[in-house]
Structures are given as C-alpha cells and as structure tokens.
C-alpha cells in the first residue's frame, strides 16, 4: 500500500510538472527517429538492479558475485544502484536474467544470458474533450548471449558474459547521446537547439 501511494503521488507530481512546463516553449526542440529513453537513462541518478535466475542443475551458483560485478560497473559509470526494498518506482531498471540447464553426459552447462534495461515514460491521449494520461515502463534495450561451458567453469563464464553485456549497454548510452547531439547540430541553430546541444555536451 505504501508503494502504491508513492506511485500515485509521484504520478500526479509528474503530471503537474508536465503541465507547468507547457508554458516554457522557448527551449522546445524536435528531433526525429530517436528514443529519448536513452537520455533518461544517461541522466538518471541511479538504476534499479534486479536478478531473474532460471538456471538449473547447479550451473549458476555465484549470483551475488555477478550482481556485484554489474553494480560495480554501473557505479563506476556514475550511477547509484538500488536493490531489494531500496528500488525506486520510476528509476530505470537493469535486469540480469539467465535461463539454462546442465548436460550431465558431458558434465557441461548451456546458458542463455540476457541483460535488459527499462525506463519510465509518460503518455497522453486527447479524445474529444477528454485526456487520458499514463505513466508506464517499457524495455529500452536488451542484450543477450548464449554459451556452453564445463560445469566447473560455468560461474566464471556467466560473470564474463554479463560483464560484456553491461559494457555494451554503457557504450550504447554514450553513442545514443552523441547521435542525438549530432542531429541537433545538423539543424538550424536556435536558442532551443543550442540549449540542448550544450546539455548533451556534459
């Protein structure tokens, strides 16, 4: 119930801020073909980190070590991390997910590893005289890999796989920001485009 109340309070605050911001048109700019969720991810103070373990037969037993390794890379990139009861309703969420099983005949493991990230967004539909608003989360990006390894090496292979995936995600965050900034630079320069170009230089 406490989380639900916080969710609604945050939602109505967001709607209020969005309505007030409509009066400030001078710095409004438009770009095409970009998901601005990447900028929300780039500018986020912190990220939720969640784990989904669907690996059987003892093929993944160092879950905490993998999660800590992912959190460390996120922290080094400037993010706070939230886990367990500390997760934030509207913070971007990084999901560490794995599905796998053992192959007894060769004492090996086969695993599919996936790292995905979701962000919150606000949508509004105007219909006749009415407006319907929604605050929701959607999957911004997903990175995956499949590996087989000797059972004794499966934990290390899992750790290396997820470290590669989170590094790819962090690189993409920077690339997406640079791509948006480049498109703004290619536009006719106005007070709005110059403002956003400066913001994305940071």
**In this predicted structure, what is the pLDDT of residue 26?**
80
Residues 6+ apart with CB under 8 A from 31: 180, 183, 184, 187
CA distance 16 to 122: 12
CA distance 139 to 118: 4
Place of tokens 């922290």: 75
**In this predicted structure, what is the pLDDT of residue 125?**
93
**In this predicted structure, what is the pLDDT of residue 10?**
53
**In this predicted structure, what is the pLDDT of residue 27?**
86
**In this predicted structure, what is the pLDDT of residue 49?**
98
pTM: 0.83
Rounded alpha-carbon distances, angstroms, from residue 18 to 13, 30, 44, 48, 134: 9, 17, 18, 24, 12
Task: List the chain residues with pLDDT less than 70.
Answer: 1-25
**In this predicted structure, what is the pLDDT of residue 185?**
94
**In this predicted structure, what is the pLDDT of residue 25?**
57
Q: What are residue 139's phi and psi, to 5 degrees?
A: -75, 120
């Amino acid at each position: 119930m406490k989380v639900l109340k916080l969710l609604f309070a945050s939602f109505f605050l967001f709607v209020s801020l969005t309505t007030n911001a409509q009066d400030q048109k001078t710095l409004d700019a438009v770009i095409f073909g970009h998901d601005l969720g990447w900028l929300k991810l780039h500018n986020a103070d912190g990220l939720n980190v969640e784990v989904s373990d669907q690996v059987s037969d003892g093929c993944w037993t160092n879950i905490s070590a993998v999660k800590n390794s992912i959190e460390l890379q996120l922290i080094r990139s400037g993010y706070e991390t939230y886990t367990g009861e500390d997760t934030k309703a509207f913070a971007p969420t990084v999901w560490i997910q794995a599905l796998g099983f053992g192959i007894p005949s060769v004492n090996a493991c086969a695993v599919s590893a996936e790292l995905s990230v979701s962000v919150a967004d606000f949508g509004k539909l105007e219909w006749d005289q009415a407006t319907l608003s929604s605050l929701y989360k959607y999957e911004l990006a997903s990175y995956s890999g499949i590996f087989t390894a000797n059972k004794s090496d499966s934990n290390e292979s899992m750790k290396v796989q997820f470290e590669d995936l989170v590094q790819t995600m962090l690189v993409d965050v920077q690339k997406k920001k640079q791509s948006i900034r480049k498109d703004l630079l290619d536009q006719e320069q106005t007070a709005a485009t110059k403002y956003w170009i400066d913001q994305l230089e940071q």
